[in-house]
Chain A
Amino acid sequence: MNDYKVRLKIFEGPLDLLLYLIKKNEVSIYDIPIADITNQYLEYLKVMQDLDLDIVGDFLVMAATLLFIKSRMLLPQEDVVLDDEIPDDDPREELINRLMEYKKFKEAAGLLRDKEEEGSEIFKRFLPKSDIDLTKGEDVSREGFEASIFDLIAAFTDALKNIPKDDFKVVLDEEHTVEEKMEFVISLLDRKGVIYFNNVWARIRSRIEAVVFFLALLELIRLKKIMIRQIGLFGEIKIFKPLPTLSSNGR
């Protein structure tokens, strides 16, 4: 079981798994033995389901595609192909193209990894707190547009759905106050510059905490301590501090 778990982790997605199976079976990407590969793919999928990994959804679509291709290949060809050319309606063609395309980017990602590695050998004279600076350069707080309270409510109700309903024990154990949540948001902003609604949301454990958090946000907005912006309609909601009067940085 554990063995599987470790191995499963290396697959970023269904295409990754397929490429792995192709390599493992030492077959050509252009001539995939679809029945074999499909069976092996489904075996992995089964393990993933047993482990209840939440990535399974992405893999199911590909399973359906594979089974569809398999069934099409089993069907007798209507038109007999006279010359030994590959019939141009090879049911695998689209999958091959996708795999090839994906493979290119996997290689490109490997190149980026090398570059990242090289970069870790050199040090800049000025090291910001985090290597990838969150607040300077392209100003993340300026993109998108100011979100309305309704956008916030929409995000709130949307996110509320994801919170387990029967978490009452936790509610009794912990006390959440609006003040505490306000402080939490401000301290997070001090450190990060910008925070994303969904990220903060992921830490929330109960409905009561969610409600308190939401009230804290509303209060902070009223006090003009924070601003919210949305990347696109119904997009991600960002929380940041109102821009201070420009400091004399730059030169």
Chain B
Amino acid sequence: MEDRTQIKSIIEALLFVADKPLSVEQIKAVIEVDKTEIKSNIDELKREYEEKHSFRIREVAGGFQLVTDPIYAPWLRKFFQGGRKGKLSKAALETLAIVSYKQPITKPEITQIRGVDVDGVMRKLLEKGLVKITGRKDVIGKPLMYATTKMFLEYFGLNSLEELPDLDEFVKMEQENDEDTRDQKED
């Protein structure tokens, strides 16, 4: 049985070795203390890190993860010699946006929205683990249905899909923009 002072250190050790966001449940499986205590210990660690360390705990994909403070990015990039993987293509981002809001969704449905064939893009997204197959839709042809993965959340630094703004927010933005163009035209 761990004594109280150890709990924080154990959580810290777990965060240190984890290569994926660590959920409270995963921590609970290692140390038998209740979730609120785990969370308060994490909060304490967060405070300590912010005071005197260059790394932070970020909440992402439903878990906790040790990451560096963005202000050290220039040096880290230098260290990795710009080694971060390339960015996703526009097509990939558009397709991901559609999947994230409409999931589960089939390829024909995505194609309908984008107006472009998405076979190639979807294959790459599957390969990268950003989307997954969730089953088949009960319509003619029984097409496969796709959804975003935990990896998707982690990649975009989201804790859950609920963090994405409502799609209607974008409509509002569009209407404002549209009015802008109309105004300009009247000028």
A residues with CB within 8 A of B: 12-16, 23, 26-30, 55, 57-58, 61-62, 98, 100-109, 111-113, 115-116, 118-128, 130-134, 136-138, 140, 143-144, 194, 196, 198-199, 231-232, 235-236, 251
CA distance A28 to B179 in the complex (A): 8
- Known A14-B115, A124-B67; contact A29-B178, beta-carbon cutoff 8 A: yes
B129 near A112 (CB under 8 angstroms)? Answer: no
Answer whether residue B139 sits at the interface, using C-beta atoms and an 8 A cutoff.
no
Complex A-B: 28 CB contacts under 8 Å? A12-B94, A13-B116, A26-B184, A28-B178, A100-B174, A102-B115, A104-B171, A106-B94, A107-B174, A108-B164, A109-B90, A112-B96, A115-B156, A119-B156, A120-B73, A124-B65, A128-B19, A130-B85, A132-B130, A134-B127, A134-B128, A137-B149, A137-B150, A138-B149, A140-B127, A199-B123, A199-B127, A231-B126
CB distance from B177 to the nearest CB of A (A): 9
Please, which residues of chain A bring their CB within 8 A of the CB of B80? 123, 127
A30 near B178 (CB under 8 angstroms)? Answer: yes
- Known A108-B167, A131-B84, A232-B133; contact A137-B144, beta-carbon cutoff 8 A: no
- Known A116-B88, A124-B66; contact A231-B150, beta-carbon cutoff 8 A: no
CB within 8 A of B58: which of A61, A122, A235?
A122
CB distance from B86 to the nearest CB of A (A): 9
Please, which residues of chain B bring their CB within 8 A of the CB of A122? 56, 58, 67-70, 73, 157
A123 near B101 (CB under 8 angstroms)? Answer: no
CA distance A26 to B84 in the complex (A): 39
Please, which residues of chain B bring their CB within 8 A of the CB of A138? 129, 132, 149-151
- Known A23-B181, A236-B123; contact A103-B174, beta-carbon cutoff 8 A: yes
Nearest-neighbor residue (CB-CB) of B21 within chain A? A124
Please, which residues of chain A bring their CB within 8 A of the CB of B56? 122
Please, which residues of chain B bring their CB within 8 A of the CB of A137? 20, 129, 149-151
CA distance A240 to B100 in the complex (A): 28
Please, which residues of chain A bring their CB within 8 A of the CB of B58? 122
CA distance A57 to B115 in the complex (A): 11
Q: Which 9 A-B pairs have the closest CB atoms?
A: A13-B116, A108-B97, A121-B70, A126-B19, A109-B93, A131-B85, A115-B156, A107-B170, A109-B97
A133 near B129 (CB under 8 angstroms)? Answer: yes
Within B109-126, which residues are at the interface with A (CB < 8 Å)? Answer: 113-117, 123, 126
Please, which residues of chain B bring their CB within 8 A of the CB of A61? 115
Please, which residues of chain A bring their CB within 8 A of the CB of B182? 28
Within B13-61, which residues are at the interface with A (CB < 8 Å)? Answer: 16-20, 30, 55-56, 58
CA distance A116 to B72 in the complex (A): 17
A232 near B144 (CB under 8 angstroms)? Answer: yes
CB within 8 A of A101: which of B69, B100, B113?
B113
A112 near B93 (CB under 8 angstroms)? Answer: yes
Nearest-neighbor residue (CB-CB) of A31 within chain B? B182
CB distance from B55 to the nearest CB of A (A): 7
B123 near A196 (CB under 8 angstroms)? Answer: yes
Answer whether residue B1 sits at the interface, using C-beta atoms and an 8 A cutoff.
no
CA distance A207 to B97 in the complex (A): 39
CB within 8 A of A104: which of B96, B170, B185?
B170
Please, which residues of chain B bring their CB within 8 A of the CB of A136? 19-20
Contact with A along B92-112 (1 / 0, CB 8 A): 011011101100000000000
